[in-house]
Amino acid sequence: MDGPQGVIAALHAALGADADSDLLTDPELTITFGTDWTRRWSSRPLAVVRPADTRAVARVLSACAEQAVPVVPQGGNTGLVGGSVPHTDGSAVVLSLARLTTRGAVDRLGRQVTVGAGTTLGDLQRHAREAGLVYGVDLAARDTATVGGTVATNAGGMRVCRYGDTRAQVTGIEAVLADGSVLSRLDALPKDDAGYDLTSLLVGSEGTLGVVTAVRLRLHEPDPPGVTTLVGCRSVREALSLLPRRDVRLAELMTGAGLELTCEVASLPPPLPSRWPVYLLLETPDLPDLPAHAEAVVDGRLIEYRERHPAAIATTGVVHKYDVSLPTDDLDDVLAEVAEVVAPHRLYVYGHLAEGNLHLNGVGPAPADEQIDRDVLSLVAARGGSIASEHGVGTAKAALLHLRRSQAEIAAMRAVKSALDPRHLLNPGVILT
Ligand code: MLT
Ligand code: ZN
């Protein structure tokens, strides 16, 4: 049997008795797996498979390799760059890792834990807390985003300035390659230089080199309670000048337009008596040093104003997300230039100020325009910034990778891709065109 029916028969055989529950082919059910969080990308999957363990993932990938059918790995489907849904109708199998939710016992002394790729960030955080520890990566989508997805994109989130990004947490990995072979490096020793660091290579590879099925992660001792402060600022430059030099646990930037929209959509009261062009949300061990004229409020619940930004902005239309890193000088000028480029779309800005990782959100009445994407990202690259800071490259920015990476780097990436996935079946079109 050839074509889609052949693929479905092969997946049936791979899943055996579990196919009834683990294989979805009804378009009414599969379309939600084909539509991403932004609603900017939507295609009908050929089928969706939801295996419950690594062996079943391996059988599914071997079957797809035999059928030469592309596979799109998916976690909580909270991706923002078109990297976790198929690109054309009926072209690819979506491999959902959401059911790989095992949570190993926490190694309290070694401060590590192994979890399945489908564990949500929120469940991992609760699991760590029950053992008296914390997991260092945190973001607003914590109860939907999966650990596997955050590993695949090397997610950062709001605590990078305290704990580092996801790569800094990963000490071991289990992944299945395109041919169905399983790489397992979960017994992470503190020192181990035997060969290439495949763990690090797989982190941030966006499902293009292998499918992450489990990870061993570093945990941390909890901090003593800190102080959360929201400060009104006249400019991004001023917000940067208020960043404490050390011991900062969170430093989130918001702009007036986004904060006002978030208050309106989420029915939150204005957090400060006056309106400001820029707001800085800080968490520090003690009260931060602020100039006498600063308008600030201290309250642990202020994080809600920042966390509600993405959903509030998405209520106004299909958002074009520019997740960029910029050198921190001249940020005000760069943001003014970007606002001009995206016009007549509106620009909402928020992000992780300590790393210069800003999320520029273009949304507005005009239809989506990829020329605007190119112009914004070219401007960012010309200013020495990165076009992909923590959401990944996905399909959204694959054709623009040259803005940030040299020809030699892209050629090396192609060679790695071809070595591990010679027929380019894993997440084709993501990172590399
Ligand atoms: C965030 O920082 O809120 C996330 O990266 C998601 C987003 O940018 O929308
Ligand atoms: Zn972010």
Can you tell me which atom of ligand 1 is nearest the CA of 157? 2
Ligand 1 neighbourhood includes 324 CB (under 6 angstroms): no
pLDDT digits (tens, 9 = 90+) for 338-378: 999 999 999 999 999 999 999 999 998 766 688 999 999 99
Q: Which amino acid is at 36?
A: D
Q: Which ligand is nearest to the CA of 355?
A: 2
Cα separation, 115 vs 136, whole angstroms: 15
Ligand 1 neighbourhood includes 59 CB (under 6 angstroms): no
**Which tokens is 417 given?**
């891709």
Ligand 1 neighbourhood includes 310 CB (under 6 angstroms): yes
Question: 320 CA to middle of ligand 1, Å?
Answer: 12
Spell out a b/e string for 303-318, using b for 16 or more CB atoms within 10 Å of the CB, else e: bebbbbbbebbbeebe
Distances in Å between the Cα of 24 and the Cα atoms of 19, 32, 41, 180 are 8, 11, 20, 21
Question: 157 CA to middle of ligand 2, Å?
Answer: 5
Ligand 1 neighbourhood includes 139 CB (under 6 angstroms): yes
Q: Which amino acid is at 319?
A: V
Question: 58 CA to middle of ligand 2, Å?
Answer: 32
Axis-axis angle for helices 370-382, 331-342 (nearest 10): 160
Phi and psi, residue 355, nearest 5°: -100, 5
User: pTM score, two decimals?
Assistant: 0.97
> DSSP character for 44?
-
Question: 166 CA to middle of ligand 2, Å?
Answer: 12
Ligand 1 neighbourhood includes 320 CB (under 6 angstroms): no
Give, for 270, the enclosing helix (H) or strand (E): none
Ligand 1 neighbourhood includes 218 CB (under 6 angstroms): no
Ligand 1 neighbourhood includes 359 CB (under 6 angstroms): yes
**Which tokens is 284 given?**
């520090």
Torsion angle, alpha carbons of 332, 336, 339, 344, to 10: 150
**Best CA proximity match to 26, nearest among 44, 41, 1:** 44
Can you tell me which atom of ligand 1 is nearest the CA of 323? 8
Cα separation, 15 vs 33, whole angstroms: 19
77, 254, 304, 359, best to mutate for ligand 1 pocket (most atoms within 8 Å of CB): 359
Q: Which ligand is nearest to the CA of 349?
A: 1
Ligand 1 neighbourhood includes 428 CB (under 6 angstroms): no
Cα separation, 363 vs 340, whole angstroms: 13
Question: 357 CA to middle of ligand 2, Å?
Answer: 7
Query: What does DSSP say about strands 250-255 and 278-284: parallel, antiparallel, or unpaired?
Result: antiparallel
Phi and psi, residue 122, nearest 5°: -65, -45
Sign of the CA dihedral with 296 first, then 302, 305, and 307 last: positive
pLDDT of residue 190: 84
Per-residue pLDDT of the chain (433 residues; tens, 9 = 90+): 789 999 999 999 999 999 999 999 999 999 999 999 999 999 999 999 999 999 999 999 999 999 999 999 999 999 999 999 999 999 999 999 999 999 999 999 999 999 999 999 999 999 999 999 999 999 999 999 999 999 999 999 999 999 999 999 999 999 999 999 999 999 878 889 999 999 999 999 999 999 999 999 999 999 999 999 999 999 999 999 999 889 999 999 999 999 999 999 999 999 999 999 999 999 999 999 998 889 999 998 999 999 999 999 999 999 999 999 999 888 999 999 999 999 999 999 999 999 999 999 999 876 668 899 999 999 999 999 999 999 999 999 999 999 999 999 999 999 999 999 999 999 999 999 9
Cα separation, 192 vs 198, whole angstroms: 12
pLDDT of residue 368: 63
**Best CA proximity match to 47, nearest among 95, 80, 83:** 95
Query: What does DSSP say about strands 170-176 and 93-96: parallel, antiparallel, or unpaired?
Result: unpaired
Which residue's C-alpha comes closest to atom 8 of ligand 1?
359
Do you know the residue count of the chain? Answer: 433
**Which tokens is 145 given?**
């985003």
Question: 258 CA to middle of ligand 1, Å?
Answer: 13
121, 137, 139, best to mutate for ligand 1 pocket (most atoms within 8 Å of CB): 139
Decide if 216 contacts 114 (C-beta within 8 A).
Answer: yes
Question: 81 CA to middle of ligand 2, Å?
Answer: 13
